[in-house]
Amino acid sequence: MRRTRREQATLIAVSAPGLILMSVLFILPVSLILIEAIRTPEGDLTFHYIAEVLTDPYSWRIAWFTFLQALLSTLFALLLGFPGAYLLSHYEFKGKRFVQSIAQLPFVLPSILVVLGFVIFFGNSGVLNSLLKHLLDLKETPLKILYSFKAIILAHTFYNFPISLSIIAAFWQQLDSREESAAMTLGANHRTAFRTITLPRLIPAISAAASMIFLFCFTSFSIILVLGGGPKFTTLEVQIYQLARVQFDVSQAAAFALYSLAISSGVLILYIKSQHWMQKTMGSVGRALSPKRTGRFSKFLIMTYMLLIMLLIVAPLLSILFRSFQEPISRSGENRVSLRWYLELFGFGSASQFFKGASQAILTSISIATVVTLLSVPISLSLSTLILQLKKRLSIAAETLFMLPMAVSSVIIGLGYAIIVSRFPVTKIAYPMIIGAHLVIATPFMIRSVLPVFRKIHKIYTPAALVLGATPFQAFLHIQLPLLKMSIISGAIFVFAISIGEMNATLLLSDAKVTTIPILLYRLIGSYNFFGACALGTLLMSICLILFAATNSIQERKI
């Protein structure tokens, strides 16, 4: 149906701010990376840097390792999440709500917290090794995991398997079970029915989960940087950071960034197609699964799986809290209960140099996250409106474009903004650059929160309002906005959590004058002040968990 001039003018007015801001905040920095990759220091055109990255064996080794660790991490995350998806979708049991809540934690916990929890719990002097040495009366450390390839895979699995659990479980629960029942009636056993009927129908959800996990692992930075332990385990993102921040070779870093961007963009396209495949499949299913009652064997499986979740997710987080209230009293490793680190954190202790400016870092993080959240709401609504108004193919293209920052690692985004900072050496420019980078990183997640609800409203209620004489603006103000309120609040909380925990881009942009909670936390871990890091980590974790609880509460109200 052809739009009237008034409707066209309204669409332009609504979508223009979001388009302009995304062009300035995202397309401009990425374009500067491209320019830097094909420009000599004198300003001449060259493809030397790109050619060097594509032909250098060392570059290929880095790319291969990046791909391999992401692939293995994705595989293990799927294998670990799949049994949980089956249990959640097929059974009702005590603690199901707990498992579902835990499955959402990776979306709000910063990766630097995962690193800290992993070190404190699985480290050579960590909680698990200390417990095993005491129980088994061992002198040597039984589990030597840190600073190895297996540490990277285990940390990525621990951080990402809940993604596969939640995506596959939600999809599996909506599948019609009658086809599988009919197959078993005709003589097929459970294994055959699952292999030939259920598993093929789960492929859209498995594909969506796998592509999202692979994307997160491929662009992982802080986990590799801290747990890799050296150049042997360098990935593309770590190499970009090293070139830009340590070696100050921005052109070479830009060439590596383009290399990484090309691969991750392909994975993002696969994820978006998988999402549409899931929506199409879920729209065609019949009767959903009816959860079964638990028997003895199923109860055993559920208890085993819950213990595994406790070990992998809850225990490392609790170990951060536990260690934050300890203080070493001797070099032999004996500790005592103490509030020293919290006192120093807030300036009441011995004023350790590591905690100087901690209160300012907390204030800076909260301020930046607040600004980013307030800006992300109108931008997301503006871009979502444009997506809904375009024809199908253009709509998919626009959605892919606006989701593209998910494929661009925060290190690459930080590199783009670092190039801007280098060209405009203005004092106090770091703050707006960090806000811009956070906004680019967080806005796609806000769109993901708003767009599905917006799409339903747009199909059902908006046409009726327009037929009854309402203008597009009146329909938005009085119908769409009230119905979007809960998803906007939920998305805003999520954006705040992402911003307050973002470290990668901030690490490239921050200086001695601009420090956030994750940056200070990274410095404490780097200086081996793990007790102080745990105190600061507990504060960050508390903020994230409060936001997580608020999001859960809002989602319950929506239901």
We report the CATH number of the domain holding residue 102 as 1.10.3720.10
More confident of the two residues 74 and 92: 74
Looking at the structure, do residues 2 and 67 belong to the same domain, yes or no?
no
Of the listed ranges 51-60, 310-319, 369-378, the least confidently predicted one is 310-319
Q: What are phi and psi of 147, to 5 degrees?
A: 55, 50
Of the listed ranges 97-101, 348-352, 366-370, 506-510, the least confidently predicted one is 348-352
Helix (H/G/I), strand (E/B), else coil: 39: strand
**Among 100-104, 175-179, 380-384, 534-538, the range of highest mean pLDDT:** 534-538
Average pLDDT over residues 274-303: 68
Structure tokens at 468: 């009854």
Q: Is the pLDDT of residue 324 over 50?
A: yes
Full-model pTM: 0.83
Q: Is the pLDDT of residue 339 over 80?
A: yes
Alpha carbon distances (Å) from 517 to 57, 415, 501, 550: 38, 20, 7, 21
Which pLDDT value is given to residue 293? 62
Looking at the structure, do residues 68 and 108 belong to the same domain, yes or no?
yes
Q: Is residue 326 part of a domain?
A: no
Looking at the structure, do residues 73 and 129 belong to the same domain, yes or no?
yes
**Among 189-203, 346-360, 470-484, the range of highest mean pLDDT:** 189-203
Of the listed ranges 80-89, 407-416, 467-476, the least confidently predicted one is 467-476
pLDDT band at 230 (very low <50, low <70, confident <90, very high): low
CA 316, CA 536: separation in Å to the nearest integer?
A: 15
CA 204, CA 276: separation in Å to the nearest integer?
A: 9
Answer yes or no: are the C-beta atoms of 233 and 224 closer than 8 Å.
yes
Looking at the structure, do residues 34 and 152 belong to the same domain, yes or no?
no
Helical residues (DSSP H) of 38-56, grouped into ranges: 48-55
Q: What 8-state DSSP symbol labels residue 45?
A: B
Which pLDDT value is given to residue 500? 93
Average pLDDT over residues 177-185: 71
Looking at the structure, do residues 88 and 223 belong to the same domain, yes or no?
yes
To 5 degrees, how large is the angle CA 279–CA 284–CA 286? 125
Number of domains in the chain: 2
Q: Is residue 288 part of a domain?
A: yes
Across the chain, mean pLDDT equals 81
SS3 sequence, 286-319?
CCCCCCECCCHHHHHHHHHHHHHHHHHHHHHHHH
Average pLDDT over residues 127-133: 84
Average pLDDT over residues 270-288: 67
More confident of the two residues 253 and 306: 253
Looking at the structure, do residues 296 and 200 belong to the same domain, yes or no?
yes
Percent of the chain with pLDDT over 70: 86
Looking at the structure, do residues 300 and 421 belong to the same domain, yes or no?
no
Average pLDDT over residues 368-380: 92
Q: Is residue 241 part of a domain?
A: yes
Looking at the structure, do residues 434 and 287 belong to the same domain, yes or no?
no
SS3 sequence, 538-559?
HHHHHHHHHHHHHHHHHHHHHC
Q: pLDDT tens digits for 206-218?
A: 998 999 899 989 9
Structure tokens at 378: 């109108």
CA 309, CA 10: separation in Å to the nearest integer?
A: 50
pLDDT band at 171 (very low <50, low <70, confident <90, very high): confident
Which pLDDT value is given to residue 1? 46
Which pLDDT value is given to residue 455? 79
Looking at the structure, do residues 83 and 36 belong to the same domain, yes or no?
no
Which pLDDT value is given to residue 88? 84
Which pLDDT value is given to residue 376? 92
Q: Is residue 84 part of a domain?
A: yes
Q: What are phi and psi of 39, to 5 degrees?
A: -125, 135
Structure tokens at 192: 């055959």
Q: Is residue 296 part of a domain?
A: yes
Average pLDDT over residues 233-250: 88
Q: Is residue 316 part of a domain?
A: no
CA 402, CA 21: separation in Å to the nearest integer?
A: 11
Which pLDDT value is given to residue 172? 86
The half-sphere exposure of 443 on its side-chain side, counting CA atoms within 13 A, is: 33
More confident of the two residues 185 and 326: 326
CA 334, CA 332: separation in Å to the nearest integer?
A: 6
Q: Is the pLDDT of residue 78 over 90?
A: yes
Q: Is residue 327 part of a domain?
A: no
Contacting residues for 103 by C-beta, under 8 A, at least 6 apart: 84, 162, 163, 165, 166, 169
Structure tokens at 452: 């599905």
CA 256, CA 259: separation in Å to the nearest integer?
A: 5
Which pLDDT value is given to residue 298? 76
Average pLDDT over residues 68-96: 88
Which pLDDT value is given to residue 271? 81
Show the domain range for 244.
50-311
Looking at the structure, do residues 199 and 139 belong to the same domain, yes or no?
yes
Query: If we measure between CA atoms, which residue out of 78, 102, 99 comes closest to residue 88?
Result: 99
Q: What 8-state DSSP symbol labels residue 3?
A: P
**Which DSSP helix (H) or strand (E) runs through 12?**
helix 5-22
More confident of the two residues 89 and 353: 89
More confident of the two residues 11 and 180: 180
**Among 69-83, 163-177, 544-558, the range of highest mean pLDDT:** 69-83
Helix (H/G/I), strand (E/B), else coil: 462: helix
Looking at the structure, do residues 349 and 366 belong to the same domain, yes or no?
yes
Looking at the structure, do residues 129 and 34 belong to the same domain, yes or no?
no
Q: Is residue 317 part of a domain?
A: no
Which pLDDT value is given to residue 218? 92
Q: What 8-state DSSP symbol labels residue 92?
A: -
Handedness of CA 62, 45, 261, 228 (dihedral sign): positive
Of the listed ranges 9-23, 24-38, 265-279, 438-452, the least confidently predicted one is 9-23
Of the listed ranges 73-77, 335-339, 352-356, 483-487, the least confidently predicted one is 352-356
Q: Is the pLDDT of residue 559 over 50?
A: no
* Ordered DSSP codes for 330-369: STTS-EEE--HHHHHHTT-SS--GGGTTHHHHHHHHHHHH
Which pLDDT value is given to residue 128? 85
Percent of the chain with pLDDT over 90: 13
Query: If we measure between CA atoms, which residue out of 474, 500, 486, 404 comes closest to residue 449?
Result: 486
Which pLDDT value is given to residue 86? 87
